[in-house]
Amino acid sequence: MATLCYFDIGYLANMKRENKALTNREQVLNQRTGFYQKQMKALVQREVESRIIAGLPEIHPDIRKLGIGGEGPPLYSNMDTDTLMILTDRIQIDLDRLLRQVRLEQASFVSVAEKVKEDNRIRLHLPTIQPVAGRTTSRSGMRSDPMTGFRRMHSGVDIAARHGNDVQATAAGVVVYTGLGKNYGKLVDIDHQNGYTTRYGHLSRITIQKNTQINRGDIIGLVGKTGRTTGYHLHYEIRRNNRVIDPLLYFYPEKQILD
């Protein structure tokens, strides 16, 4: 009977040591899980801010909860022989929940990156800078023709500039025409692949070839007075879906557009 008592005492002592070790391990794992959850909370906040900046709707709270689940089963203060299994299950549930959250955040950041990339592509294909430095001497609309004096439609703007000054593409696109045009002299037409086209007329020289893919700011020609004109200047047009647009409505400071 005494032997059984000693055996029970020794067994209980071993159980206490194991429980203490498991409790310490559980505390360490809880601390780590808490740290990861804190990091995840900060990541979610950055993701929410990124979606706002990109103009994307916030992920609905129900979607964030979908498949993540609530808290895992509680750990008992008085651990029994199943403590290790309970602890393992708890850790696995917490890690699975964090993994699902990470995957959701990854998918959201991919959406943000794609939206920003698309917005940037759209922005770079909009003709929003002035093609040459100079003063606008004639606006778009009805005007007195400088050659005849009769009223007629002027489909673009004239920008006075020195002979030979660089003329730059006002947006990314593809050069669809280079050559001579009636009244325009040497000209370049660019298709910006979004419904917008631009035309650059009266050039002294064309420095780009047809079918060339260009970026905003690329030099396409030099200022001249070829064609039907009375002096050195650039005739510049914007069309959207083949409809004439006043270019002055699209002139923004280059730094504002490119930053």
Nearest CA to 129 out of 259, 223, 250, 215 is that of 250
Cα–Cα distance, 66 to 176 (Å, whole number): 51
pLDDT score at 69: 46
State whether 139 and 205 are in the same domain: yes
- Which residues constitute the domain of residue 149? 135-258
130 within a domain of the structure (yes/no): no
First CA to last CA across the chain, in angstroms?
Answer: 87
Looking at the fold, whether 235 and 180 belong to one and the same domain comes out as yes
Using CA atoms of 88, 94, 98, 104 in order, give the dihedral in degrees to the nearest 10.
Answer: 110
pLDDT at 115: 76
Predicted TM-score (pTM) of the model is 0.57
List of the chain residues with pLDDT < 50? 1-4, 67-79, 81, 148, 150, 254-259
178 & 234 share domain: yes
pLDDT one-digit tens code per residue, 13-59: 666 666 666 666 666 666 676 777 777 777 777 777 677 766 777 77
Strand partners, 135: 160
The two three-digit tokens of residue 78, written as one number: 């008085």
Listed residues 124, 155, 178: the one ending a domain? 124
- Domain count within the chain: 2
